[in-house]
Amino acid sequence: MISAHPNEIVFLSGGTEANNMVLNMFKCQQKLQNGYGAGDEVVKLPHIITSSIEHVSITKPLEKLRDDGLVEVTFVDVDKTTHAIRVEDVLQAIQPQTTLISLMLANNETGVLQPVKELSEKLRPYQHSNRKIYLHTDACQAIGKIPVSVKDLSVDYLTIAGHKFYGPRIGALYVRGLGHCNGAPLQPMILGGGQENGYRAGTENVAMIVGLGKASELVSSNIHSYQSQLLSVRDYLEDSLQQKFGSLIHFNAKSSDSTRLPNTCNFSLVGKRFLGRAILQHCKVIIAGVGAACHSNAIVASPILLNSGIPSDIAVNAIRLSVGIKTSFADIDVAVEDIWNAYQAIAHPKSHSQSTEQ
């Protein structure tokens, strides 16, 4: 599915574990006191670069490692027009002790694609025989929606989550040249038995691994038809919402300068009363999120949207919809009507209650 060699795959519990495994490998192995080593010589901590719109399974581990004095971290802001990271900004953030750059392939809330391939190409002049900057991408959101190839991306690590492409809730980590002297390094985070060639202890969940393999097979055989189907239905969804709501709707992170996944639609209804959560509470049919799927209980505006340049009064009203490979145009019609009725219930509560009683 991702053009990797079987020996370069380690099976894990999910994308969160895979991300944590990569990040923890690049921390300083000795806790330092006040940033100093022997004598008065300043010890430079490993430096990791990431973006300000990463999934929390990247940002939270990095913040913890930073607060524990084990790494230095730079969170690079995204361009507020393209809603994607600028490769030049990442390159400018590189320091002599930079060891890892982690950049998601596609954002999980906006669907905006990030320039991972371009970054890997621009990193080549920075690589030397005595110094290597490794590149990791969290590809969980992109796999199953667009073609993903580690050869094309030229990354050292790539995170996979099965449930994002109709597989079971299990994950995997791609590690370039795993086990070879010139391959990317990997250190176990969970110790015990020798499973997964000693990289991930614990008896493997064979049934879920087989399920992940089958889902990967289906993606490999059908990715272009999946991509076309998702795009046509998502575009129909956005066109239908636009026709229904007109100037009342704002599509977040959608512009002629941004490239998005074919399945993701993030929008807001303009107005103080139309919080994303309020709209969803009045919906009778659809189930959706106001931010990332794993923490949709937040009432405040999504930090991802704010960091992507969406104004706070718009971001707090956001609703994220995703279409699937079996979503039909008829499903979209039902969903749009449901959102319209929810809007009417908030905008005109008295007349809506009277029509409901009748």
Whether 290 and 296 have beta carbons less than 8 Å apart is answered as yes
DSSP 66-118: HHTTS-EEEEEPBPTTTSSB-HHHHHHH--TTEEEEE--SB-TTT-BB--HHH
For residue 287, is it left (φ>0), alpha (ψ between -120 and 50) or beta?
beta
Whether 77 and 92 have beta carbons less than 8 Å apart is answered as no
Note the helical H segments in 257-302: 276-282
Q: Report the distance separating Cα 75 and Cα 93, nearest Å.
A: 9
Tokens of 154: 């030229």
Q: Report the distance separating Cα 151 and Cα 4, nearest Å.
A: 8
- Does residue 140 carry a catalytic annotation? no
| SS3 at position 340 | helix
Q: Report the distance separating Cα 176 and Cα 142, nearest Å.
A: 19
DSSP 113-174: B--HHHHHHHHGGG-BTTB--EEEEE-TTTBTTB---HHHHT-SEEEEEGGGGTS-S-EEEE
Tokens of 239: 């066109």
Supply the residues annotated as catalytic: 294
